[in-house]
Amino acid sequence: MNKKSPIAIFDSGIGGLTVAKKIHCLLPGEKIIYFGDTARVPYGTKSPETIRQYAIQIAGFLTRFDPKLIVIACHSVSSLGRKFLENRFSKYHFVDVIHPSIEEAINITKNKKIGVIGTPATIASGRYPEIIRKIDRKMCVYQASCPLLVPLVEEGWFKGDVTEAVLEYYISDLLKKKIDTLILGCTHYPMLKKTIQKIVGNSVNLVDASDATARKVKFFIIKNALSNSYKRKFPTLYFSDLPEYRKKIMNRFWKTDNFMIKKINIERSFNV
Amino acid sequence: MNKKSPIAIFDSGIGGLTVAKKIHCLLPGEKIIYFGDTARVPYGTKSPETIRQYAIQIAGFLTRFDPKLIVIACHSVSSLGRKFLENRFSKYHFVDVIHPSIEEAINITKNKKIGVIGTPATIASGRYPEIIRKIDRKMCVYQASCPLLVPLVEEGWFKGDVTEAVLEYYISDLLKKKIDTLILGCTHYPMLKKTIQKIVGNSVNLVDASDATARKVKFFIIKNALSNSYKRKFPTLYFSDLPEYRKKIMNRFWKTDNFMIKKINIERSFNV
């Protein structure tokens, strides 16, 4: 592995920018390459086979930059595709967004009752309960699939009556189970953090995957003596589509004009 | 053109099934082929270039069946891609979902104030006002982009407080303009028809593209003496992805078990 190599981060769309931003803050000397599959977003309502096929195409594209680490900043791919990526690209190191938040949730919970909210694909994969209970069989895990939250965030409706009503609908059953920790299992959800905290009350701790994952990435870089001191601090963001509608939304996830933004045709970039 | 050839219908996902169902009811002797691009749905938040690229791939796939008519049952493709498809596949006849509802709206309106609701791509294309004002310059057209309606329909939230609040937010400006006709410019919206009628009141007429398009298709078939008397009445539905999540939703759009459902890899099926 080469210190000068970039850290590659990818997501189904722009949600992973919340993770990229945190990594950039914690490791300002690192060269960052981001890919968002805006031409095929969202993944959360697609099948495991399709999600894996797309993930392999993307990782194939990213390995062209010979990254020292590939961060799977997408919960659907983290749930369903990590093993496939590791088998196919065994030369590379991967960090996903699920394991770091699980470790944090297990450290935080006192009553061993953990809630998870996510997209239909992430929740249906059952990866969170599976991994958590492998670490500690006494943990109780309660999940809720929340398909409307991504569209709400993309509309910029982070608070207000509609958003609160939708959140209450999704989360009320988890609260009845007396969870004391709630994992935000989608990279869009940190934008709703304040409203979610209002709904669940202060006795429930929220686990934000972007924080946990950025710390995990920093730990990996330091542990393997891979720190870089790259001067030009503007990340390069690749997208498979760049519609006006999404450009506006992107600003909500990472406000700065200091990006290199490029469009690539991901379907043609790598044969699965 | 061959009488025995099928009518091909396509959409970005399952919304176009509302159109396919109406065509099947009006023309029960026709062989129907449907394609839904569930692997890349939705189109409404994507760029014109990407929408056109996908539309060409799909039409390329459908022409294998030598259809006597191709119905573009997707408002985003109808708005942005019809001309491209006609240039590329000049041998074939196309019907879109925009022109039929525009004709109906122009016939219905008394005060010449027409509202249109649709996805960001459809509304940003400006095709509705462009076409309407080409027919009658005195028409006033007011549009509203409604990105949350498709996710609400896919969640099955056809009514209730949240859906009403979202609809009120999107439609209130159109009502202030005193529209007397509202075009439902997306194949998902017919599922919200009752709630939309509640919000706009009985003095506003709703134009449902699926009805208007099915009538247009019937007219085309009869005018060109292309009626078929196909006995096996089960349509064949092709999808680029078949996740469990979407199978459940599909049932809301067309309730019957009498389908032939097949999955195809659209990315590989036709080179753009």
Minimum mean pLDDT range among A114-123, B25-34, B194-203, B249-258: B249-258
List residues bridging with A144 in a β-sheet: A117
- Burial call B220-234: b when 16+ CB within 10 Å, e when fewer: bbeeeebebeeeeee
Distance CA A162, CA B164 (A): 10
Burial class (CB in 10 A: 0-12, 13-18, 19+), A180: middle
Contacts of B19 (CB under 8 A, 6+ apart): B9, B11, B71, B73, B97, B187, B209, B210, B213, B214
**What pLDDT sits at residue A272?**
63
| B26 part of contact set with chain A, CB < 8 Å | no
Closest CA to B168 of B192, B140, B148, B196: B196
Distance CA B166, CA B199 (A): 10
Chain A nearest C-alpha distance from B30 (Å): 31
Distance CA A130, CA A135 (A): 9
Is it true that the peptide bond before A42 is cis, omega within 30 degrees of 0?
A: yes
Q: Which helix (H) or strand (E) is A219 found in, with range?
A: helix A209-223
- Nearest CB among A46, A148, A157 relative to B243 is that of A46
- Nearest CB among A162, A246, A267 relative to B165 is that of A162
Half-sphere exposure of B16 (CA within 13 A, CB side): 31
**What pLDDT sits at residue B272?**
63
Closest CA to A15 of A250, A235, A214, A261: A250
Matching CATH number, A7-96+211-269, of 3.40.50.2300, 3.60.9.10, 3.40.50.1860, 3.90.550.10: 3.40.50.1860
Please judge whether B245 and A50 are an interchain contact, meaning their C-beta atoms are less than 8 angstroms apart: no
- B123: tokens are 């509304």
Contacts of B195 (CB under 8 A, 6+ apart): B158, B159, B163, B164, B167
Closest chain B CA to residue A249: B45
**What pLDDT sits at residue A106?**
98
Distance CA B36, CA B15 (A): 8
pTM: 0.91
| A169 part of contact set with chain B, CB < 8 Å | yes
Q: Which residues of chain A have pLDDT under 50?
A: none
Distance CA B260, CA B73 (A): 19
Q: Which residues of A touch B240 (CB under 8 A)?
A: 50
| B126 part of contact set with chain A, CB < 8 Å | no
Average pLDDT across chain B, whole number: 94
- A47: tokens are 């099948």
Confidence class of residue B83 from pLDDT cuts 50, 70 and 90? very high
| B246 part of contact set with chain A, CB < 8 Å | yes
**What pLDDT sits at residue A271?**
66
Q: Which residues of B touch A39 (CB under 8 A)?
A: 40, 46, 50
Contacts of A61 (CB under 8 A, 6+ apart): A35, A238, A264, A266, A269, A270
**What pLDDT sits at residue B15?**
93
**Catalytic residue flag (residue B25):** no
Contact B204, B182 (CB under 8 A): yes
**Catalytic residue flag (residue B146):** no
Q: Where are the domains positioned within chain B?
A: 7-96+211-269, 98-209
Contact A89, A59 (CB under 8 A): yes
List residues bridging with B262 in a β-sheet: B238
Give, to the nearest 10 degrees, the angle between helix A161-176 and helix A193-200. Answer: 50
Closest CA to A133 of A150, A147, A116: A116
Q: Which residues of B touch A46 (CB under 8 A)?
A: 38-39, 241, 243
Residues of A catalogued as catalytic:
74, 186
Chain B nearest C-alpha distance from A41 (Å): 7
Q: For the segment B163-192, what is each residue's pLDDT rounded down to a tens digit? A: 999 999 999 999 999 999 999 999 999 999
Distance CA B92, CA B59 (A): 10
**What pLDDT sits at residue B203?**
96
Q: Flag whether the ipTM exceeds 0.85.
A: yes
Closest chain B CA to residue A146: B155
Closest CA to A39 of B37, B256, B211: B37
CATH 3.40.50.1370 holds for B98-209: no
**What pLDDT sits at residue A1?**
78
First vs last Cα of chain B: how many Å apart? 25
State the Cα torsion A167-A170-A173-A178 to the nearest 10°: -50
| A155 part of contact set with chain B, CB < 8 Å | yes
Domains B7-96+211-269 and B98-209 belong to one CATH topology: yes
Percent over 70 (pLDDT), chain B: 99
CA distance to A137, A227, A239, B30, B98, per residue, from A68 (Å): 34, 10, 21, 57, 50
**What pLDDT sits at residue B271?**
66
- Residue B201 per-residue DSSP state: -
- Residue A177 per-residue DSSP state: T
| B154 part of contact set with chain A, CB < 8 Å | yes
Distance CA A206, CA B162 (A): 25
Half-sphere exposure of A254 (CA within 13 A, CB side): 25
Distance CA A75, CA A123 (A): 10
Chain B nearest C-alpha distance from A111 (Å): 32
Chain A nearest C-alpha distance from B243 (Å): 4
Checking if the pLDDT of B233 tops 80, the result is no
